[in-house]
Amino acid sequence: MKKVADSKELPNTAAFQDEFTREFMDSTKEVEDGYYLFRSKTDGYTMLYPSNAKISEIPYEKNGKQLESVIFEENNRKKNYNYVFRTTYETYGDALLETSLKILSRSVGYSGDFNELEFGDNKIYYAKTEQPIESENRKATAYKFFSYIVSTNTKKSIEYIYTAMCFDESNIECNIDPKKEEDKALKLMKSIEFKK
């Protein structure tokens, strides 16, 4: 993408108004309504990226072309929602599948099985969970949708975790629809294309 110095020339979205985030955007044109194309700095994959999400510089991590960990977030306190996405790209493919699924399960507090989906050249090992979160002045439900995505023709894989929740369910209206969020999670996971 051509470097643009003035943010006024760019789309009025978090993806382009944030300097660090726009380094990952392939083009200023939406791929489809509400989504741009994200291009990994490892050049290992592309995926759909929500136009109002912003990538956290810390703890962004990249190790050559073998590893990249990205956390991006879309939230609005007024509308009472918080969406957090985390992707970790690796060049293990399915070589460490069982270990990778155990690590993923541990990181999201899940103890069940994964559904195996095939989509294009990828195998998606997918599961979901919901967890109540309570503190003295806050009550919420974290809906987690997560997968380990493996390329069937390259040694590449991605761990993808999407968490949708309201900031507070106790005294503010919460409009999160778990089915809608699951559809969005699967759409984003299926959009991943590994580069050969």
Domains of the chain: which residue ranges? 7-194
Compare 161 and 93 and report the one with higher pLDDT: 161
- The overall average pLDDT reported for the chain is 93
Q: According to the model, what pLDDT value does residue 137 have?
A: 80
Rg (CA), the chain: 17
Task: Please state which CATH number belongs to domain 7-194.
Answer: 3.40.1000.10
Average pLDDT over every residue of 126-132:
96
In this prediction, residue 21 has a pLDDT band, given cuts at 50, 70 and 90, of very high
- pLDDT (tens digit, 9 = 90+) per residue, 62-101? 999 999 999 999 999 999 999 999 999 999 999 999 999 9
Asked if 44 and 10 touch (Cβ cutoff 8 Å), the reply is no
User: Measured between alpha carbons, how far is 166 from 13 in angstroms, rounded to an integer?
Assistant: 21
Average pLDDT over every residue of 94-112:
96
| pLDDT over 90, % of the chain | 87
For residue 2, pLDDT beyond 50: no
| pLDDT over 70, % of the chain | 96
**Kind and range of the H or E element at 107?**
helix 97-108
